[in-house]
Amino acid sequence: MNAPKTIKTAIIVAGPTCSGKSALALDLARRFNGTIINADSMQVYRDLRILTARPDDADEAAAPHRLYGVLDAAVPGSVAWWRSEALREMEEAWAVGRIPILCGGTGMYLRALTDGLVEVPDPGDAARTEARGLAEEIGPEALHARLTEVDPETASGLRPNDTQRISRAWEVWTGTGHGLAWWRSQPGLPPAPCRFVSVQLDPEREGLRRAIDFRFGQMLEAGALEEVSSLLERGLDPVLPAMRAHGVPELTAVLRGEESIEEAQKSAVLSIGRYTRRQATWFRHHALGKEGDAMISLRRYTHYAQDSESHYEKIENFISERVDAVAVSS
């Protein structure tokens, strides 16, 4: 009989913005001796603690939190960068007997771990400069039309007003000679060397909308306008991801005297609501895991933090059955 070995296991807590992921991840970290690893593409920026609803000091004192506020707003994050950092943090957690808990709503980040990732070559500074220049000169819709002519497969998966992703697609096509869709079809980096147990939250629409509105009001009271003012003082490139975070364009309009604070809140809540619909649709169509992993999807409830008592026992039992019994014979 061979000696028992431990299967490396990680927990995923995923779902749309404002669905209560952070509260659930913290409860699970206390129960399963976990280290919470950020899987939200905006919460990596240290300049946006308020507007991205990063965990507060009390939460960070209750359980280890990693990859929150680690990038300057001037540095564009990427899925490849995040995957490398997340794997490093996961290994460090396992090394000290903790379970990594990946918490966030950026599906492409999470799938880079569960399914692997194709590495796209650096298109070069010239291609980046051209893409940004065109996006500013002719606008995202016109650039999307050009992309459709040369790389229709990639263009078909992009919204015509998504400046950041259209610029990225154009620079990759220009700088590498192949489109993003082509690169993504090539062999790439393997999935993370572990088993995943995933919890995907999917609240009902009206309850989520109320939660978004309430949270944005809290952000304003906590100093979100001042946070955006400090960010604008840096004079950063407006196409950087941090400059396009939810709430930043709307509060920028307030600071420029173009909108009232009430109008900005209404616009931001509507924008975040549309984004959460896209997130929810994505998660419904993309299982976070591979064969042998486990997943539970909780749907049609108001909000985890509000309904935690009725839902936590179900989630805990589901995870306990899979995490507490990880010792097997090799």
44-80 pLDDT, tens digit per residue, is: 999 999 999 999 999 999 999 999 999 999 998 989 8
Alpha carbon distance, N-terminus to C-terminus of the chain: 9
pLDDT score recorded for residue 280? 86
Do the annotations mark residue 230 as ligand-binding?
no
Q: Choose among 202, 209, 211: nearest CA to 299.
A: 202
Strand-strand pairing, 327-329 and 4-6: antiparallel
Residue 169 has pLDDT above 90, yes or no: yes
Q: Choose among 314, 253, 223: nearest CA to 27.
A: 314
pLDDT band at 268 (very low <50, low <70, confident <90, very high): very high
pLDDT score recorded for residue 118? 79
pLDDT score recorded for residue 292? 64
Do the annotations mark residue 15 as ligand-binding?
yes
Determine if residue 197 is left, alpha or beta; phi over 0 gives left, psi from -120 to 50 gives alpha, anything else beta: beta
Exposure class string for 136-166: b at 16+ Cβ within 10 A, else e:
eeeebeebbeebeeebeebbeebebeebbeb
Residue 4 has pLDDT above 60, yes or no: no
Do the annotations mark residue 21 as ligand-binding?
yes
pLDDT band at 141 (very low <50, low <70, confident <90, very high): very high
Segment 219-225 mean pLDDT: 97
The full DSSP string for 33-52 is: TEEEEE--TTTTBGGGTTTT
Do the annotations mark residue 16 as ligand-binding?
yes
3-state SS assignment for residue 234: coil
- What φ, ψ does residue 87 adopt, rounded to 5°? -60, -40
CB-neighbour burial class of residue 5 (10 A; exposed 0-12, middle 13-18, buried 19+): exposed
CATH number of 125-184: 1.10.20.140
Segment 146-151 mean pLDDT: 94
Give 11's strand partners: 101, 197
Q: Choose among 44, 103, 18, 78: nearest CA to 280.
A: 18
Task: Give the CATH H-level superfamily of domain 4-117+189-329.
Answer: P-loop containing nucleotide triphosphate hydrolases (3.40.50.300)
Do the annotations mark residue 18 as ligand-binding?
yes
Segment 110-133 mean pLDDT: 87
Fold match, 4-117+189-329 / 125-184: no
Between 306 and 326, the more confident residue is 306
Segment 253-270 mean pLDDT: 96
The vertex-299 CA angle with 296 and 305, nearest 5°, equals: 95
Model pLDDT for residues 16-46, shown as the tens digit of each residue: 999 989 999 999 999 999 999 999 999 999 9
- For the chain, give every domain's residue range: 4-117+189-329, 125-184
